[in-house]
Amino acid sequence: MNELQDLYREVILDHNRRPRNFGELEDPDRIVEGVNPLCGDRMTLYVKLDGDTVQDIRFKGTGCAISVASSSLMTEKVKGASLQESLKLFEKVHDMLTAADYDDSADLEDLDKLAALSGVREYPSRVKCASLSWHALKSALTSVDDKI
Ligand code: FES
């Protein structure tokens, strides 16, 4: 295992052990339930908006290390971002997780720690684990009428 893979593994373990933004949010503007059909694990995403900005975001639920780490990394990255930035990030992560010809070097700077999820692409059965919270995010943000 090379150094970069070690680093990615560390990021995932850390976010699984100490998930950021875990728990319920008081008075959220959006609540979205996500379920991984392959394993039945569920997560709930809470989003608080301030105009076009994701003011606060939290999640709770059960899942494997990849799913928890992905949710944690997602909330960390999206908190304080605009709706447009968050949706753009969804597209980038979706590409990273699913595109067969994805070029890792292209978005590394933007993705930052999210690049730790790139290895999941090699394991099709885990892609849904990593993308669960991202689909919930997209669903939460695109249900905001007239804001995007
Ligand atoms: Fe259930 Fe990963 S095995 S979310």
**pLDDT tens per residue across span 52-72:** 999 999 999 989 999 999 999
Q: Does the beta carbon of 64 lie inside 6 Å of ligand 1?
A: yes
Cα(3)–Cα(18) distance, integer angstroms: 22
**pLDDT band for position 109 (50/70/90)?**
low
- Looking at ligand 1, which atom is closest to the CA of residue 38? 1
What the block records as the tokens of 83 is: 């709706």
- Looking at ligand 1, which atom is closest to the CA of residue 66? 2
Write down the pLDDT at residue 4. 81
Q: Look at residue 101 and tell me whether its pLDDT is greater than 90.
A: no
What separation in angstroms does the CA of 30 have from each of 25, 118, 139? 10, 28, 9
**pTM of this structure:** 0.92
Q: Is the dihedral of CA 76, 78, 79, 80 positive or negative?
A: positive
Q: Look at residue 148 and tell me whether its pLDDT is greater than 50.
A: no
**pLDDT band for position 3 (50/70/90)?**
confident
For residue 147, how far is its CA from the centre of ligand 1 (angstroms)?
32
For residue 65, how far is its CA from the centre of ligand 1 (angstroms)?
8
Burial (CB count within 10 angstroms: exposed 0-12, middle 13-18, buried 19+), residue 35: middle
**DSSP labels, 12-62:** HHHHHHS-TTBS--SS-SEEEEEE-TTT--EEEEEEEEETTEEEEEEEEE-
Write down the pLDDT at residue 99. 82
Q: Does the beta carbon of 16 lie inside 6 Å of ligand 1?
A: no
- Looking at ligand 1, which atom is closest to the CA of residue 63? 4
**pLDDT band for position 106 (50/70/90)?**
low
**pLDDT band for position 146 (50/70/90)?**
very low
**pLDDT band for position 108 (50/70/90)?**
low
